[in-house]
Amino acid sequence: MPVVTGTLVLVGTPIGNLGDLSARAAEALASADLICCEDTRRTGRLLEHAGVNGSRLRRVDEHTEAEACDEVCELLGAGATVAMVSDAGMPAVTDPGVRLVAAAAAAGHTVTVVPGPSAGLAALAVSGLPTTRFCFEGFLPRKGRARAERLEQIARERRTTVVYESPHRLRACLEDLAEACGPLRAAVVARELTKLHEEVVRGTLAELCEWSHGPVKGEVVVVIEGAAVSGSEVTDDELRAAADALVAGGASRRDAAASAAAAHGVSRRRVYNLVVDDLRPASK
pLDDT for 284 = 44
What is the pLDDT, as a whole number, of residue 3? 60
Residue 182 one-letter amino acid: G
In this structure, the strands spanning 220-224 and 160-165 are antiparallel
**Position with higher pLDDT, 134 vs 241:** 134
pLDDT at res. 1: 46
> How do residues 200-237 score in pLDDT, each as one tens digit?
999 999 999 999 988 888 889 999 999 876 555 678 88
d(CA 93, CA 118): 9
| Domain made up of 119-224: CATH architecture | 2-Layer Sandwich (3.30)
pLDDT digit string (tens) for 104-139? Answer: 999 999 999 999 999 999 999 999 999 999 999 999
If phi > 0 it is left, if psi is from -120 to 50 it is alpha, else beta; for residue 194 that is left
Per-residue pLDDT averaged across 144-156, rounded? 93
State pLDDT tens for residues 4-17. Answer: 689 999 999 999 99
Tell me whether the CATH fold assigned to 7-114 matches the one assigned to 119-224: no
pLDDT of 37 > 50? The answer is yes
Q: How far is CA 224 from CA 142, 242, 254, in A?
A: 18, 12, 22
- State the CATH architecture for 7-114: 3-Layer(aba) Sandwich (3.40)
pLDDT in tens, 162-193: 999 999 999 999 999 998 988 889 999 999 99
In the chain, domain spans: 7-114, 119-224, 236-279
DSSP state of 81: E
Over 80: is that where the pLDDT of 277 sits? no
pLDDT of 265: 64
Quote the mean pLDDT of the chain. Answer: 90
In this prediction, residue 230 carries a pLDDT of: 55
**Residue 148 CB contacts under 8 Å (≥ 6 apart), including other chains:** none
**Given this model, what pLDDT does residue 209 score?**
95
Q: What is the pLDDT of residue 112?
A: 98
